[in-house]
């Protein structure tokens, strides 16, 4: 073959390859990033016991409906589902049931479904008869919540449409206060076990005995935003490390400021009447030791719902302003990891068990009276019946350059700050009360200080639990 013929043959081969490559590229559909959102009503019937304090009481009125707020993201290969429920906490059984049904009916892997509780103190219990006991059967309301979560995710999938995504953060420090305080000597009363703690939770506001807070706050409000390509909002997932606000009417069911924030943000975006519906979600960050009480500068009396409306509106306005400057992109790669490390439980020793039995025998329950010593004696005996170790659900979502980790506890603020600082994916933040409710999660430092959140019966996992769980999440992020 002559040199010219060789050139002609080579050109022919290249041409055929280019034509085939072009045809092949045209045959592969372009992956379109999509998002959909929906709500699912989980309001319990009147008469249901409202939990959040030491003595449950029956609900007599619904001030605002409780919702499971759902967001589904799809990058063409992977789907992630976020569910934030207006509940104090959610029993692991409820999450397991809902995720199993979602995987079966929607083919979204259970590991790709995040189900958390806001921690409103004005909701009925989805934790079962005893939140501190490991249970194996669900009651009627728990089954109802699980089914409604599945329905909400289904409805969100039904509204999937092309979307753009963005993430950002705004600082709102004025509503968060550490509630654990060092006090002057002699200013801390004995705890229910008869010992004196080194810090006090929720000391009297304005007290001259205040020394300093025992920990920091986290003023950051991170958020994810998804919208249609023409700018029409689909959903905003927000996280704030504020326990709750409170101040509801007597016997009222309410989503607290979490629900008010969602409604206010929809109104500010002029999306409260759009179709398909815009859905805002506000998840609880790491607020185990954070609340809305300024102990240095007491505020005056407030009418029911006044303070929570104020907080919700202010946070919503600031997030709305940040959304106006946010750059959305046409898509983001999605990924999820889920693990269950084995963590030891807090176990009462024989001396504590003897004390608990003696206390219950000597202090009969009095109707209408809250006896913390007796309550914690009962809790001590209950915890002795739990397994010595539990597998705790941990989850990590990656959305483009952002990472969201979760823990199934009321997580102390310092843990969330440490995760944000050390996570190899940035930005990063934590969501609490996901896939379960295993009590407060203090750091080992706070265990040494004592206080309500560390008491046996309030705290249920081993002293090193926070370190082990954080290390596992950081390892997952590194992968």
Task: Please state which of the ranges 16-20, 89-93, 149-153, 251-255 shows the lowest mean pLDDT.
Answer: 16-20
Q: Burial-class residue 350 by CB neighbours within 10 Å (0-12, 13-18, 19+).
A: exposed
Q: And the tokens for 91?
A: 């029993």
Q: And the tokens for 195?
A: 């010992």
316 and 268 in a common domain: yes
What is the per-residue pLDDT across 196-239, written as a single tens digit (0 to 9) for each?
A: 999 999 999 999 999 999 999 999 999 999 999 999 999 999 99
Structural domain contains residue 289: yes
Q: What is the mean pLDDT of the chain?
A: 92
Structural domain contains residue 107: yes
Q: What are the start-end ranges of the H helices in 328-464?
A: 350-362, 372-383, 413-422, 444-449
* 53 compared with 48, residue with greater pLDDT: 48
- Residues 84 and 433 sit within 8 Å (Cβ to Cβ): no
Indicate if the pLDDT at residue 316 is higher than 80: yes
Structural domain contains residue 118: yes
The mean per-residue pLDDT over the stretch 184-191 comes to 96
93 and 71 in a common domain: yes
Question: What's the domain range around 366?
Answer: 348-383
Structural domain contains residue 447: no
- Report the pLDDT value the prediction gives residue 53, as an integer from 0 to 100: 78
Number of domains in the chain: 2
> What is the percentage of the chain residues whose pLDDT exceeds 90?
85
Peptide bond preceding 150: is omega within 30 degrees of 0, i.e. cis? no
238 and 92 in a common domain: yes
- Report the pLDDT value the prediction gives residue 311, as an integer from 0 to 100: 98
- Report the pLDDT value the prediction gives residue 2, as an integer from 0 to 100: 47
Q: Burial-class residue 187 by CB neighbours within 10 Å (0-12, 13-18, 19+).
A: middle
366 and 234 in a common domain: no
The mean per-residue pLDDT over the stretch 277-283 comes to 98
360 and 282 in a common domain: no
* 4 compared with 190, residue with greater pLDDT: 190
- Report the pLDDT value the prediction gives residue 262, as an integer from 0 to 100: 98
Q: Tokens 């019937």 identify what position? A: 45
Q: 153, 146, 57, 55: which is closest to 105 by C-alpha? A: 153
- Report the pLDDT value the prediction gives residue 19, as an integer from 0 to 100: 39
Cα–Cα distance for residue pair 261/445, rounded to 1 Å: 34
> What is the percentage of the chain residues whose pLDDT exceeds 70?
94
Output phi, psi for 163, to 5 deg: -145, 160
Cα–Cα distance for residue pair 242/64, rounded to 1 Å: 20
- Report the pLDDT value the prediction gives residue 28, as an integer from 0 to 100: 39
Question: Is pTM beyond 0.85 here?
Answer: yes
> At 471, is the pLDDT very low, low, confident or very high (cuts 50, 70, 90)?
very high
User: Rounded to whole angstroms, what are the CA distances from 156 to 40, 97, 106, 161?
Assistant: 10, 18, 11, 10
> At 18, is the pLDDT very low, low, confident or very high (cuts 50, 70, 90)?
very low
Q: How does DSSP classify residue 345?
A: B
- Report the pLDDT value the prediction gives residue 30, as an integer from 0 to 100: 62
The mean per-residue pLDDT over the stretch 39-49 comes to 96
371 and 284 in a common domain: no
437 and 354 in a common domain: no
399 sits in which H/E element: strand 394-399
- Report the pLDDT value the prediction gives residue 133, as an integer from 0 to 100: 72
- Report the pLDDT value the prediction gives residue 56, as an integer from 0 to 100: 86
- Report the pLDDT value the prediction gives residue 398, as an integer from 0 to 100: 97
364 and 274 in a common domain: no
The mean per-residue pLDDT over the stretch 457-467 comes to 96
Structural domain contains residue 403: yes
Long-range contacts of 225-228 (CB under 8 A, 24+ apart): 225/165, 225/166, 225/167, 225/168, 225/323, 225/326, 225/328, 226/35, 226/37, 226/71, 226/73, 226/163, 226/164, 226/165, 227/163, 227/164, 227/328, 228/161, 228/162, 228/163, 228/164
- Report the pLDDT value the prediction gives residue 365, as an integer from 0 to 100: 85
What is the per-residue pLDDT across 69-86, written as a single tens digit (0 to 9) for each?
A: 999 999 999 999 999 999
216 and 364 in a common domain: no
The mean per-residue pLDDT over the stretch 419-445 comes to 97
Structural domain contains residue 449: no
Indicate if the pLDDT at residue 184 is higher than 80: yes
- Report the pLDDT value the prediction gives residue 368, as an integer from 0 to 100: 76
What is the phi-psi region of residue 56: left when phi exceeds 0, alpha when psi lies from -120 to 50, beta otherwise? beta
In our burial notation (b when 16+ CB lie closer than 10 A, e otherwise), range 229-244 reads eeeebbbbbbbbbbbb
38 and 116 in a common domain: yes
142 sits in which H/E element: helix 140-158
- Report the pLDDT value the prediction gives residue 248, as an integer from 0 to 100: 95
Indicate if the pLDDT at residue 4 is higher than 80: no
364 and 247 in a common domain: no
In our burial notation (b when 16+ CB lie closer than 10 A, e otherwise), range 39-61 reads bbebbbeeebebbbeeeeeebee
Please report how the helices 256-268 and 306-323 are oriented relative to each other, as an axis angle in degrees rounded to 10.
40
The angle subtended at Cα 464 by Cα 426 and Cα 197, nearest 5°, is 110
Q: What is the CA radius of gyration of the chain?
A: 25
In degrees to the nearest 10, what's the CA dihedral of 202, 207, 212, 216?
Answer: 40
> At 477, is the pLDDT very low, low, confident or very high (cuts 50, 70, 90)?
very high
> Residue 419 forms beta bridges with which residues?
none
The mean per-residue pLDDT over the stretch 347-355 comes to 94
> At 31, is the pLDDT very low, low, confident or very high (cuts 50, 70, 90)?
confident
364 and 305 in a common domain: no
What is the per-residue pLDDT across 122-157, written as a single tens digit (0 to 9) for each?
A: 999 998 877 777 777 899 999 999 999 999 999 999
> At 315, is the pLDDT very low, low, confident or very high (cuts 50, 70, 90)?
very high
Structural domain contains residue 20: no
Structural domain contains residue 416: yes
């Amino acid at each position: 073959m002559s040199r010219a013929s060789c050139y002609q043959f080579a050109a022919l081969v290249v041409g055929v390859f280019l034509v085939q490559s072009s045809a092949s590229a045209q045959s592969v559909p372009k992956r379109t990033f999509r998002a959909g959102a929906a709500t699912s009503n989980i309001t319990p019937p009147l008469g249901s016991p409202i939990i959040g304090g030491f003595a449950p009481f029956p609900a007599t009125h619904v001030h605002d409906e409780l919702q499971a707020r759902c967001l589904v993201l799809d990058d063409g290969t992977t789907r992630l589902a976020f569910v934030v429920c207006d509940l104090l906490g959610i029993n692991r059984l409820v999450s397991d049931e809902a995720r199993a049904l979602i995987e079966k009916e929607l083919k979204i892997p259970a590991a790709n479904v995040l189900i958390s509780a806001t921690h409103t103190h004005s909701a009925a219990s989805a934790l079962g008869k005893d939140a501190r006991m490991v249970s194996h059967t669900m009651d009627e309301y728990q089954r109802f919540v699980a089914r409604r979560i599945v329905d909400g995710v289904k409805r969100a999938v039904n509204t999937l449409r092309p979307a753009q995504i963005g993430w950002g953060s705004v600082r709102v420090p004025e509503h968060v206060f550490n509630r654990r305080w060092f006090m002057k000597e002699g200013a801390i009363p004995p705890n229910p076990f008869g010992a004196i703690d080194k810090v006090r939770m929720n000391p009297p506001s304005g007290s001259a005995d205040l020394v300093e807070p025992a920990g920091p706050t986290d003023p950051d409000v991170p958020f994810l935003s998804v919208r249609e390509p023409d700018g029409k909002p689909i959903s905003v997932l927000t996280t704030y490390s504020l326990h709750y606000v409170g101040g509801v009417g007597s016997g009222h069911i309410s989503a607290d400021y979490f629900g008010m924030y969602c409604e206010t943000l929809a109104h500010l975006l002029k999306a409260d009447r759009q179709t398909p519906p815009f859905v805002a979600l506000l998840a609880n960050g790491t607020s185990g030791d954070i609340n809305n009480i300024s102990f240095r500068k007491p505020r005056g009396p407030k009418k029911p719902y006044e303070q929570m409306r104020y907080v919700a509106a202010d946070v919503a306005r600031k997030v709305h302003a940040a959304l106006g400057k946010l750059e959305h992109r046409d898509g983001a790669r999605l990924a999820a990891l889920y693990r269950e490390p084995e963590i030891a439980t807090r176990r009462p020793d024989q001396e504590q068990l003897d004390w608990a039995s003696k206390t219950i025998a000597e202090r009969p329950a009095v109707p209408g009276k809250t006896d913390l010593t007796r309550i914690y004696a009962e809790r001590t005996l209950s915890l002795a019946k739990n397994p010595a170790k539990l597998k705790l659900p941990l989850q990590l979502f990656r959305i483009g350059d952002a990472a969201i980790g979760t823990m199934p506890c009321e997580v102390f603020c310092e843990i969330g700050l440490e995760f944000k600082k050390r996570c190899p994916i940035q930005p990063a933040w934590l969501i609490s009360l996901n896939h379960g409710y295993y009590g407060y999660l203090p750091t080992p430092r706070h265990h040494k200080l004592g206080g309500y959140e560390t008491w046996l019966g309030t705290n249920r996992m081993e002293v090193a639990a926070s370190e082990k769980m954080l290390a596992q999440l950081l390892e997952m992020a590194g992968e």
